[in-house]
Structure 1
């Protein structure tokens, strides 16, 4: 993972120097950035002697990077001139905050999925099961909190950027709509989680729903390639 981190870092820096702008202008570049963030998250728990995220972040990093370098995104591998809408100082702020939010929320949501699985799994050592569930709930809540903060900043900065580029703060574009739905589901998660009765399974179910919403917002909308954000999308068609 350390080797992967330095390799991805080198790729991002090289692409940044070559293109002259932060490599976050399309789906391919954002996937590389996402895998870079996941590799960082993977290494942080070791510094704190926690390893709950390791089984999640390691495969997520390799899967994300593997998909980015697959044949589906070859038309995005070469850097190009930014379209007028992306030639803004808000590119770095908005996209980086959104991808950071996605990375943290995905990790936290997967911890919640693990909590649900363990809750319904028969374990001979019940005390160990309870301790593990509490730790998963604790770390999931903290990581989702960080991701929710990044997501909020990303949406707000995106609204300012949209007003600058399109003359309106909100256009109900598919990407914007799904981002709002994702923000709403995690806001519901926190509303449930702050109550004692919401700790554990109840809030974990909401977070697991949020996991699928993130992928629809991040992957599904790009797959369809519709709306005002279609310049960074891809389609599953042959060249």
Structure 2
């Protein structure tokens, strides 16, 4: 009873803190960046990380096994993984470009986990024989850490595509307007416009430089985070294959979860390959990562909704039955 109460309190504390962090992020978007607010949001994410850590530890103690056995526990662990990824830039004292993604992702996953859709999973249960293995912690934790990293990196790639697309649209309309002015308005008026363009050259060049810096930062962090997630995914799939051989007598069974995990690995392997070719970097690699974002959700959440295959532990179908 005491453990359940502590878990309930820590859940509400972490959710409240992350909600405040989201509010601070919106405030910094509406007004000029304030150092005090930014530092408060960073402390808030650290407090959220500690609260979720305490929640997982308490659940581990009173359940007697690692808290990774059903959808509710995996969502809480995924939220914890987002808070870890949030702190990666702090290790090298870099500006945290991940905070805009990690904080909303953490509150989304934790909010869904604590919602009424999965209340029956909140109670810890005895593990089924297939899950009573030392590989549970290794395999599931690696997979969830990979999902968190790949989702963050993919969202950064989506942002890169949006910025690049808007820049191309602006360049297209600017060039179109100049052509129309040169042929319709006449040479004199065009020259006057040209002089005004030269006057605003410094502002335009500054804005273009800012966009260039932004795209470079988005590309840099998306590649770093996706590379980390791809490493975790590879370890998770390999450890899962060893576990499958122990539990089911075969390293690979082409189960729906295994199949989509393999598809996810292939998509991000393609992404990694595009990074080795300079002509395919930026837009092409970002497009591959954006496709991977959808594939991850199918692999992680879609299969659980269907409740089919050997990996249907903790799905909605099994819980309702």
TM-score range (shorter-chain normalised) is over 0.9
Instruction: Provide the C-alpha distance between the structure 2 equivalents of 1:172 and 1:204, rounded to a whole number of angstroms.
Output: 28
In structure 2, the partner of 1:217 is: 299
Q: Equivalents in 2 of 1:22, 1:237: separation in Å?
A: 19
Question: Is the contact made by 1:223 and 1:236 (CA closer than 8 Å) also made in structure 2?
Answer: no
- Cα shift at 1:118: 0.6
Deviations along 1:66-90, whole A, 9 cap, x unmatched?
A: 0010111111100010000000010
Partner residue of 2:229 out of 140, 147, 164? 147
Which residue matches 2:47? 3
Greater helix proportion: 2
For 1:153 and 1:50, locate their aligned partners in 2 and report how far apart those are by CA, in whole Å: 29
| 1:238 positional shift | 7.1
Who is 2:310 aligned against?
Answer: 228
The residue correspondences of 1:43-54 to structure 2 (distance < 5 A) are 43-47=87-91, 48-54=93-99
**4+ runs of 1 displaced by more than 3 Å?**
235-239
Whether 1:61 and 2:106 are equivalent positions in the alignment is yes
Question: Superposition RMSD on alpha carbons, in Å?
Answer: 1.6
Counterpart in 1 of 2:68?
24
Residue 55 to residue 79, structure 1, CA distance change in 2 (3 Å): same
Q: CA deviation at 1:174?
A: 0.4
2:284 aligned residue: 202
Answer yes or no: is 1:158 the counterpart of 2:240: yes
Q: Tell me the distance in 1 between the aligned counterparts of 2:268 and 2:290.
A: 10
State the partner residue of 2:274. Answer: 192
- The C-alpha deviation readout for 1:26-61, integer Å capped at 9, x for no partner, is 111011001001012112324422221110001000
Say which of 63, 83, 87 aligns to 2:128.
83
Rounded to whole Å, the distance in 2 between the matches of 1:153 and 1:33 is 18
Aligned to 2:28: none
CA apart distance, 1:236: 10
Which structure's CA Rg is the greater one? 2
Matched, 1:120 2:165: yes
User: 2:103 & 2:128 partners in 1: Cα distance?
Assistant: 34
Q: Does 1:109 align with 2:165?
A: no
Higher mean C-alpha displacement, 204-213 vs 42-51: 42-51
Unaligned runs of 5+ residues in structure 1 are none
1:22 deviates by 0.6
Counterpart-to-counterpart distance in 2, 1:56 and 1:78: 30
Contact 1:72–1:236 at 8 Å: present in 2 too? no
Q: TM-score when scaled to structure 1?
A: 0.96
| Contact 2:156-2:219 within 8 A present in 1 as well | yes
Give the match for residue 142 of structure 2. 97
> In 2, distance between residues paired with 1:109 and 1:136?
10
